[in-house]
Amino acid sequence: MSGRKKPQSSTDEPVDAEFKPVDSEADTPPARRSLLGWLKLAGFVAAAAILGGLGGWVAGRVAPAPEPADLSALEARLDALEQDAWPIVPDLERVLDSLDDRLTALEASGPADALRAEALEQLVRDAAGLAERVSALEEAGPGEGADEAALEALESRLREAEAASAERLDDLETRLAALAAGEAGDTADIAAALAPLQRRLGELDARIATVQSEAGAAPDLSALTSRLDAMAERIEAAERLARSASETAAGPAAPDHARRALAYTDLAEAAVRSGPFALELAELRRAWPGAPGVQRLNAHARNGAPSRERLIASFPETALRDASGETQVWFGVLRVARQSQAPGPADAARAALDEGDLAGAVSVIEALDGPAMEAAAEWLTGARARLDIEAAISALRDALQAEAGE
């Protein structure tokens, strides 16, 4: 059929057949069938995934909801919180009513009060916000407060606010009552009037304690005897002044003599002790202007000076012996007194004190120098102050006696 002549075979046998050319795309149909199979498989897998997800979604929608947790504890806490918060509501309403009245008054005032009105409006807004928060708390159901820590914090803050508000209201009521009754000014006046008396009582207590300590610290009866003698002398002088004042009572100067005598007696009793005597000295200066010896007493009135009893008890005898060489100290423990015919400064000063001769003891100490003087320097300062006070008191007594005898 092709029209071409075929070569003859070697057997010269005719071949009745036609040969067709081989097509290179003979395998194409099997490849298409394979791709189609893969597409079918992918479609099946996708459909299965979609159906599985749809089934899970349907199961989730149809399945019963989980049982809610036990909210009894939270409901009880919310009930307690409502009970705690409820007493605050009337107070807030009362505050809001008061602020509303004040705002109305300010609105009716002039334009100069605009800033104050604006500030009060802001205060009203804050209070209204607080009221809304409390109302929301009262209306909240048990399901809205799932956080127990938040509930505890809110409960604590409400209790603190309630306590602070109550305390502040009580303080304001007390202050208003005090202002209404005029108690504030009266209390201040009473306190101002009692302050000098309290100071005087404190000074008297200190003096009593000092006298008691001095009486317990006296080493022997010689100091007590000297003190009794001095007191007897002052009493005798006071009696003489009283007699002279009574004898001249008809004269114009009698009241001055009596006042001066009383002021001198108070000053002498106060100055003999270890302690200040500024009040008594001021009273003497008012009763006796230009009294002799007052300037010398001014230097010691505020702090006073050690009494004779205290000077006797505090005399640094051991330190003075060590510093003056009257004793030898071995190894810082053992003290051995040196044998000497003449008494040392410590023995001489002690003997003078035992005899009541404070001036003689001071003279012995003033003759020292070096370490011995340093050991007794503090005691010497107090003894000099005591002698100076006694000299001034003696000058006052003499002047008062001379004036009474005129």
DSSP 313-373: HT--HHHHHHHHTSEEEETTTEEEEPP-SS--HHHHHHHHHHTT-HHHHHHHHHT--THHH
Residue ranges of alpha helices (H) inside 182-220 are 183-217
CA nearest neighbour of 90 among 162, 9, 173, 183: 162
CA distance 135 to 82: 10
Chain centroid to CA 170 = 24
* DSSP 8-state code for residue 176: H
Distances (CA, A) of 280 to 106, 202, 260, 271, 293: 61, 15, 12, 9, 14
Residue written as token pair 């005798």: 236
Type of residue at 71: L
3-state secondary structure string, 46-102? HHHHHHHHHHHHHHHHHCCCCCCCCCHHHHHHHHHHHHHHCCHHHHHHHHHHHHHHH
Residue written as token pair 């009763």: 287
Chain centroid to CA 7 = 134
Residue written as token pair 């023995």: 347
Distances (CA, A) of 147 to 78, 79, 143, 405: 11, 15, 10, 99
Q: What is the pLDDT along the chain (406 residues), one digit of tens a residue?
A: 444 444 444 444 444 444 444 444 444 454 445 556 666 666 666 666 676 666 665 555 555 544 444 567 667 776 766 665 555 556 656 655 665 666 566 555 544 444 444 555 555 565 555 556 655 555 554 444 445 565 566 566 666 656 665 565 566 556 555 544 544 444 454 445 455 555 665 665 666 666 556 545 444 555 555 665 666 566 666 666 655 555 554 444 445 788 888 999 999 999 999 999 999 999 999 999 889 889 899 999 999 999 999 999 999 998 888 887 755 444 454 444 455 556 788 989 999 999 999 999 999 999 998 888 999 999 999 999 999 999 999 999 999 888 877 5
Establish how many alpha carbons lie within 13 A of residue 332's alpha carbon, considering only the half-sphere containing its beta carbon. 0
* The dihedral sign for the CA sequence 232, 237, 242, 247: positive
Distances (CA, A) of 273 to 125, 211, 269, 364, 374: 71, 7, 7, 24, 26
CB count, 10 Å around CB of 257?
Answer: 24
Strand partners, 328: 336
